[in-house]
């Protein structure tokens, strides 16, 4: 099979042996694989794949057709359309996934949309609901709302009956985010829009003190992005006075049980909203596997609305 391959800090398209599914695993012909910030860092040598996953083939999410099954597989079979969050190796023509990590692709989704769905919607759902406990009618602030996880979190918050404020740095992206339904503000205008019950931090430490000041009593901050810095200072007295809580989380390195649990929650609570058209996956650009380097450059350029998606086996 062909795969995007990390060689000396850059990407090349190289041949690899076809993977074979093991116990409980399915073999997937990858039709689409979304790009994520972790992929950029891995290519630069800063975010190795968890043990057991390809170290030289990036990619955290995929969608495709099952073309083979290993021993003990009972849920999926050849021809089924599936998607999943994986530890690595998604940006290839073939990938192996444990069937408990996989989810069925809603019939009304294209491959491009399905390939950009699993990581961002699972991450957003886990952060704002499982970790921070967002409830119906509460107020949610999403920093970095134009990206993949940001657009997912905005839509999930609105679907849950919450008031959602979206912080978007690039003026050119604000109208597109506003079309999803939230109130859209520049980052410097966040302070006057609170208080917020839950704040999803996708940008980094630069927002720490502002977040705490804008937080409601007993509010919660979920930190899952640090592109704008991972070190900062906060006023602990204010944290105590507001009885506030801060959560940090990652998805990639969780054990099978953790990923399976997150997948089942998304499957039961989120996928039905795609089937009815309540949620969508904004895709800003797609690239064939041969143009993986160009896809990475498009991701790094910033000022994008939604997902950049590779099409390894698109026909």
pLDDT-derived band of residue 196, with 50, 70 and 90 as boundaries? very high
pTM: 0.94
Q: Are residues 14 and 69 in the same domain?
A: yes
In a domain, 270, yes or no: no
User: What is the rounded average pLDDT for all residues in the chain?
Assistant: 93
Residue 269 lies in a domain: no
Residue 64 tokens read as 């495709």
Give the model confidence (pLDDT) of 28-67 as tens digits. Answer: 999 999 999 999 999 998 888 999 899 999 999 999 999 9
Whether the pLDDT of residue 315 is over 70: the answer is no
**Domain assignment of residue 132, given as a range:** 123-248
Number of domains in the chain: 2
Last residue of a domain, one of 229, 248, 267: 248
What confidence tens digit (pLDDT) does each residue in 251-280 have? 888 899 999 999 999 999 999 999 899 999
**Do 172 and 58 fall within a single domain?**
no
Q: Where are the alpha helices (DSSP H) in the chain?
A: 37-43, 111-115, 118-125, 148-159, 171-178, 208-214, 236-241, 256-269, 271-275, 292-300
**pLDDT above 90 coverage of the chain, percent:** 79
Mean per-residue pLDDT, 186-213:
89
Do 189 and 151 lie in one domain? The reply is yes
Does some domain include residue 8? yes
Three-state DSSP at 200 gives strand
> Is residue 104 domain-shared with residue 136, that is, in the same domain?
no
Average pLDDT for residues 222-228, to the nearest whole number?
80
Say if residue 142 is in the same domain as residue 101.
Answer: no
Query: Residue 54's CB: how many other CB atoms inside 10 A?
Result: 22
For residues 88 and 132, state if they share a domain: no
pLDDT tens-digit series, residues 62-106: 999 999 999 999 999 999 999 999 999 999 999 999 999 999 999
Q: What pLDDT, on a 0 to 100 scale, did the predictor assign at position 314?
A: 64
Summarize the confidence of residues 305-310 as an average pLDDT.
Answer: 95
Residue 254 lies in a domain: no
Q: How far is CA 312 from the centre of its chain?
A: 19
Per-residue pLDDT for 239 more than 90?
no
CATH of the domain at 171: 3.90.180.10
Both 57 and 18 in one domain: the answer is: yes
Residues 18 and 71 in one domain: yes
Q: Are residues 99 and 47 in the same domain?
A: yes
Q: Are residues 139 and 104 located together in one domain of the fold?
A: no
For residue 101, being part of any structural domain is answered with yes
| 186 shares its domain with 238 | yes
- To the nearest whole percent, how much of the chain has pLDDT over 70? 98
- Say yes or no: 68 and 170 in one domain: no
246 forms bridges with which residues in the sheet? 221
Eight-class DSSP state of 47: S
């Amino acid at each position: 099979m062909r795969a995007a391959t990390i060689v000396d800090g850059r990407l090349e398209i190289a041949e690899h042996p076809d993977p074979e599914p093991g116990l409980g695993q399915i073999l997937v012909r990858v039709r689409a694989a979304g790009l994520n910030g972790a992929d950029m860092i891995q290519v630069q040598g800063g975010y190795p794949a968890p043990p057991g996953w390809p170290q030289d083939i990036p990619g955290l999410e995929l969608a495709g057709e099952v073309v083979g099954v290993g021993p003990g597989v009972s849920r999926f079979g050849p021809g089924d359309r599936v998607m999943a969050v994986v530890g690595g190796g998604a940006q290839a023509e073939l990938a192996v996934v444990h069937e408990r990590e996989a989810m069925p692709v809603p019939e009304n989704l294209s491959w491009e949309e399905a390939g950009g769905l699993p990581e961002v919607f699972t991450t957003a759902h886990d952060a704002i609901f499982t970790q921070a406990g967002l409830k119906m009618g509460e107020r949610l602030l999403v920093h970095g709302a134009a990206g993949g996880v940001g657009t997912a979190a905005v839509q999930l918050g609105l679907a849950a009956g919450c008031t959602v404020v979206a912080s978007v740095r690039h003026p050119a992206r604000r109208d597109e985010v506003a079309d999803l339904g939230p109130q859209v503000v520049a980052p410097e205008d966040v302070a006057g829009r609170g208080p917020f019950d839950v704040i999803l931090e996708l940008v980094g430490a630069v927002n720490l003190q502002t977040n705490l000041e804008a937080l409601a009593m007993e509010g919660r901050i979920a930190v899952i992005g640090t592109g704008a810095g991972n070190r900062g200072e906060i006023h602990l007295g204010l944290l105590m006075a507001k009885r506030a809580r801060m959560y940090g989380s990652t998805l990639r390195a969780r054990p099978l049980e953790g990923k399976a649990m997150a997948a089942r929650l998304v499957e039961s609570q989120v996928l039905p909203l795609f089937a009815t058209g309540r949620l969508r996956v904004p895709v800003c650009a797609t690239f064939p596997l041969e143009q993986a380097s160009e896809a990475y450059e498009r991701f790094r350029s910033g000022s994008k609305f939604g997902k950049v998606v590779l099409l390894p086996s698109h026909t």
